[in-house]
Structure 1
Amino acid sequence: MTGPMSSTEFGGTLLRWLSESRSGKASALRDGVRSQAQAWGLELKEYADWDWMRKAAALGFIDVDLHADRWSVAPPVLTRLPHADGLALLTGARTARISTRVEEAAREWMELITVPHQPEAGEAPLPDTLLFQYEDPRTLQEAAEFLGARYLPCAALQLSELLPQAVVGAESAPPGGSTANTLEKYEVRLQRFIPVARDDEDGLYRWRGADYARLTRIRRDGVFHVVERQTGIYLELARHRTGVMRWRPESGKGRAGIGRLFVDRYAPLPALHERVAVLCSGFPPSAGRQTQTRAYDNVPRTLAETIAASLQQNLETMARPVAAIGGRTK
């Protein structure tokens, strides 16, 4: 296959292949995203392959375990979006059989809304978002059975009950002498890791291990602990009382409890937290002003507060847009 392809063709074809393959090595998937993009005339920026995997996981298409170097396709799920006026999202595996059922249902009885992903320059296009419009939620169970999917009343709200609290992990060995040249410490003020010569202060560190794998550890009261990078960043933000999350209510009538969640780009949400935020709308986060924030749509305030609290953040509530107060522009 040669020549440039559309967003729908690239993302949909890649998801079909993943759905039929079911699982594999995460490193091979990253290579596959980039090689297929090159074969189809798409020029990707650095780390676009990893970004595609992260967003595909957040959208519920795949599950990724980088430590085990594995990916697996997620089971197909039909789920309602929170407070979304009769919209349900189909996510997970999209095999040839499921796609055929979707097309059949759309022709005969189901109101299907297909929304193509609009990638930024250098991004790998994601699969289309498939939304189903319904009037009676009781019909969704039957629809899910027809499609060969599992029905969940609201995946975002159900997953939010499983969000882990941001805490340090098990005690771990400190950096060894051979890692001195690769030792870095996270600086909240600079919003990034910087090279350091010593590990004699509490904080978040990373370095290259004996097998050259990058290790991330957090030091508390002189003791090192295992921690995921994203969780470690939030623990450091909490230690320095730095807020990176804001929520703004929508302007429509009766929509004050629903809004947009903004997260500073240098503090990416951990995988499960991001999936909860993304499954509120079925769309990946959009880049904010000058790409300094990621914005998640259709997020209920209560859910945004749950995400923030689990990451030791105090959620800042922004003012409601003035334009819709009283139905008039002010």
Structure 2
Amino acid sequence: MLPTSLSGFSPLHVAYADDAAHIIYLRAHTGSSKKTQDQRRVWPEGRTLFLVNVPADATEREIVLLFKTCGTVEEVVFDLDALAEEGADEESGSEDEDLDEADTPAAPDDRPRKKRKLDKDEPRPPKVIPLPIPPLRTLRRTGHTAHVIFLDSSSLARALALSQPSKGAKSPRPRPWPTSTESPLGLQHYTALYDALRPPLDVVREHANTSIALHDYELAERKRLLQKESKYKKGEAIVDEDGFTLVTRGGAYGQAVGGGVGVASKKFVQQHSRKRDAAGKPGGAKRARKKEGKEKAAFYAFQVHEKKRNELLNLQKKWEEDKAAVEKLRSSRKFKPY
């Protein structure tokens, strides 16, 4: 026997089948006394039903069919999905705030833009063949919560009365769970998911080929637009405000940005001058050989040390020669200094 109330919640017995049952706890939504900035969603008082322990595979349509006899359901919000949407909105909002004011567009035009008409000869963008995705229901964690918003407050009262036993009964009668045929249940759900993750090879090939074709088309279109918008066109010289032609180096001869004026590169000038001197200019080859054979003196440290050593050896040799000459004159006794 189920209790009629549990911590302010009323248990609602739901029967999937004769041998399968589930309990949903419900109560009227009441706003908290402390409101924080995270509570962005304001639930209407008096016509919002708060559900706890919602089935993991429940869909919005099944919740609507469950409370169809109570009144018109305006909206069903699964709290896990709402939190995920708020997190995505916060991330996108923070990215937008980081943008500079210069990057923001000036004044948005509310008028609908006309689609650009494609020429007959212009290629059409290929369409991507998508992979087959069967309609599968979203599986959430067990025991999640949801909010059901009715059109009026009387519908909320009738929904709360579903958990109360009828007159003369000791316990409330289990309500059958409305199973929608829009998506498979149980083992059929996992079988369909297995087949969706393993599509046929020909379908994967068509999807890949069309995706690559679309990528190639976008690259070619981007390149065509860049060439169309570029001011540097082939065969046309670019002249600045002062009347000078813009010139850049490239290849054997330099070339203007758009074409026209050319300037020879330094490497080409050197090669051409060598060939001209070797071919016809008198003395050109001799000067080139003389220049190649010339070596800089005292450029390296060992050259400096060797030069100094040779100078000392020459001085010592000369001193020995002078000493021998003096001794020779002295031995002949013909030395008369005065």
The TM-score with structure 2 as length reference comes to 0.18
Bigger radius of gyration: 2
User: Which one has a larger percent helix, Structure 1 or Structure 2?
Assistant: 2
User: Which one has a larger percent strand, Structure 1 or Structure 2?
Assistant: 1
